[in-house]
Structure 1
Amino acid sequence: MPAVLPGGVVCHFDGAVRSESHGAVGFVIRDDNGGVLMVRGISYEGLVDPMVIELMAFRDALRWCVGAGLAGVRFVGDAKVVIDKIHARITRDAKAGAIFQEVYILLDNHLDFSVQFVGRQNNRVAHMVAKKILDLFSTGPGMVLISRHGCVRRSSYCNFVILGNTSDLFRKKKMKGHLYPGL
């Protein structure tokens, strides 16, 4: 795991696609002791380009951290092509130019944020979240947010907030216990 300054946070992000149907993003925010503060996954119907979904994973994580008022966030992902394009400030991209522009605006307004590449092995929890979202929302878009703080809805198994298609989540018997084992 990347080093985090005392009091800082690291945000692992990743995307996953299911050919022909949809993509999903996942991100995990950890504190300076490695404890999980928040897990979020979002499904996007019809979005199947791996580079675009990886960029959207970063954009969604970045938006969330800005909205939460976090400072000094270190973002890490395993999509080297996307991270290299962000560092090079690529703006001309037929598929994702507008998303890159939004990312640059957010980063320019938060100079204490950084983004770096890590190997897939060091990003497996974020990948697991994205893949799980693909399974949960195979019939359409949806979102799952799990947080240890400020939960709107509580379960006897874990604290979480669910927005979107909840019927799939509650129908799955294997969801009892821990929603994301290993966190």
Structure 2
Amino acid sequence: MSLTVKDGQNFALKSVKARLAGQSHSSPTQWQPPPPNIVKVNFDGAVFGDSHEARVGVVIRNEHGEVMASLSEKIAIPSLVEVLKMLAARRAAIFARELSFKNVWFEGDAEGVVRSLRDGVSSNAFVGHLVKDFRSIVGLFQTYSISHVRRQGNTIAHALAREARMSIHLRIWMEDVPPNDLSVVTKDFSS
């Protein structure tokens, strides 16, 4: 995980670094809460070939696992899954900024995308623009980090991406998720 700190480093961010330093190099398989005063923003994307549409899902949770906000949005179907995941990360960053969070830990399940966003390196020109855009948005946070989690640790964001299939263009829930996804939050929280 990469950790970027502006205006000094506080205790909570030292806690993130210490926790991650103690982990093996493999990505976590279940959702882990962030330290106090940091929100974790999970993101994912899904493609539905039958309808030629794509969707992104974003969930923001606090250190207690409580949902602060969630989002499900239809977008134009991109040519590559990598682009879809980049667009989901970009939307997650915008959503967190819109809600005025200051200390943010982003987490996604596409390892190559997370690596590109973290390192600022991309595989092609279009993806490079998305990486640059993401990094310019997250640079506005007081602190931010980005890490990879396996799909099992990103189930709510994935469910939200799939949720959009049945819904209008953009849906936002404050301190909640759609009723169909509530059991996923509860399962994550009790793990």
Percent sequence identity is: 22
Establish whether residue 24 from structure 1 lines up as the match of residue 55 from structure 2.
yes
For residue 145 of structure 1, give the secondary structure of its aligned residue in structure 2: strand
Establish whether residue 50 from structure 1 lines up as the match of residue 51 from structure 2.
no
The equivalent position to 1:7 in structure 2, one of 13, 22, 37, is 37
CA distance in 1, matches of 2:77, 2:110: 20
Q: CA deviation at 1:108?
A: 2.7
Return the letter of the residue paired with 2:40: V
Return the letter of the residue paired with 1:180: D
Return the letter of the residue paired with 1:93: N
Deviations 1:35-82 (A, max 9, x none): 111110110133352111111111111011122211111111101010
CA distance in 2, matches of 1:179, 1:48: 29
How large is the RMSD of aligned CA atoms in angstroms? Answer: 2.1
The equivalent position to 2:167 in structure 1, one of 122, 126, 136, is 136
Query: Which is bigger in relative contact order (C-alpha 8 A, separation at least 6)?
Result: 2
Indicate conservation of the 8 Å contact 2:104/2:141, yes or no: no
Establish whether residue 110 from structure 1 lines up as the match of residue 111 from structure 2.
no
Give the TM-score of the pair, scaled to structure 1.
0.75
Q: Identify the residue that residue 147 of structure 1 maps to in structure 2.
A: 174
For residue 46 of structure 2, give the secondary structure of its aligned residue in structure 1: strand
Q: Identify the residue that residue 182 of structure 2 maps to in structure 1.
A: 181
Paired residues in the alignment total: 153
Mapping 1:33-182, distance limit 5 Å: 33-90=64-121, 93-110=124-141, 112-136=143-167, 142-148=169-175, 178-182=179-183
Indicate conservation of the 8 Å contact 2:72/2:164, yes or no: yes
Q: CA deviation at 1:13?
A: 0.6
Indicate conservation of the 8 Å contact 1:13/1:126, yes or no: yes
